[in-house]
Chains A and B, each alone.
Chain A
Amino acid sequence: AQTVTQSQPEMSVQEAETVTLSCTYDTSESDYYLFWYKQPPSRQMILVIRQEAYKQQNATENRFSVNFQKAAKSFSLKISDSQLGDAAMYFCAYRNVYSGGGADGLTFGKGTHLIIQP
């Protein structure tokens, strides 16, 4: 079974600064997907960024980027120019590649609560 570990229960950053959220995972698979989801207090879970293990290039979405280290099984999220609207719970998640045998659920880490200081 896969596991996902987020070792930072809470992080705080000044507005406009950069913050990095950590995530490590464990799997015996060689190809899989990794995601970062954001859940604001309004509770809607929103996809922030995604990465396929097969692709070595780190994913980037505007101010959000990842540092994917496959050998180390590490998948950290960097948020640049932090904004007040970035305040939320951030979950790192893993899922297996679709194999044709049926969809697979997400395995989530425990989450990191990100606070943005104005």
Chain B
Amino acid sequence: DTEVTQTPKHLVMGMTNKKSLKCEQHMGHRAMYWYKQKAKKPPELMFVYSYEKLSINESVPSRFSPECPNSSLLNLHLHALQPEDSALYLCASSQDDSGSSYNEQFFGPGTRLTVL
């Protein structure tokens, strides 16, 4: 299985809602990532988890709350978002252990989020 899955594909939420994005991989990868991508822009790194621990937070507002319950699963909890948070949210994973090389990131198809 060389796939990263993300649910839901689309999400529309109000500014007072609480919702969660889910990402799953079964490749045994030790690192997982959240990126935010606005239209016609490159992805921007939000969070990195290494061995289920948060290792990088790119100064993301606290209304975005990541969680890594186990090595295969990554969640992004959303609360009190703003319309400017509307974007494509991409999850990725990579091997990233002492024996690996290249460590290319495998991306999921993304969740298209619209905040009203």
Binding site for B on A (CB under 8 A): 33, 35, 37, 42-47, 50, 52, 91, 95, 98, 100-111
Contacts and interface: CB of A to CB of B under 8 A. Distances in A.
Given A102-B50, A109-B42, A43 B103 contact: no
Given A100-B98, A110-B42, A47 B106 contact: yes
Interface of B: 30-31, 33, 35, 40-43, 45, 48, 50, 55-56, 58, 88, 90, 92, 94, 96-98, 100-110
B48 A104 contact: yes
A42 B90 CA distance: 13
Chief secondary structure at chain B's binding surface: loop
User: Which of A47, A95, A102: most chain B CB closer than 10 A?
Assistant: A102
Contacts of B50: 102-103
Contacts, number: 71
5 contacts: A44-B110, A47-B105, A91-B42, A100-B98, A103-B96
B103 to A, nearest CB: 5
A47 B97 CA distance: 20
Contact of B43 (A46, A47, A100, A108): A108
A46 to B, nearest CB: 8
Contacts of A104: 48, 56
A102 B48 contact: yes
A108 B35 CA distance: 11
Given A105-B48, A111-B41, 5 more contacts: A98-B100, A102-B31, A102-B55, A103-B55, A103-B103
A37 B106 CA distance: 10
Nearest to B46: A105
B56 A44 contact: no
Contacts of A43: 88, 109-110
Nearest to B105: A106
A34 to B, nearest CB: 10
Given A45-B90, A47-B106, A91-B42, A103 B98 contact: no
Nearest to A4: B42
Contacts of B31: 102-103
Given A45-B107, A47-B106, A110 B41 contact: yes
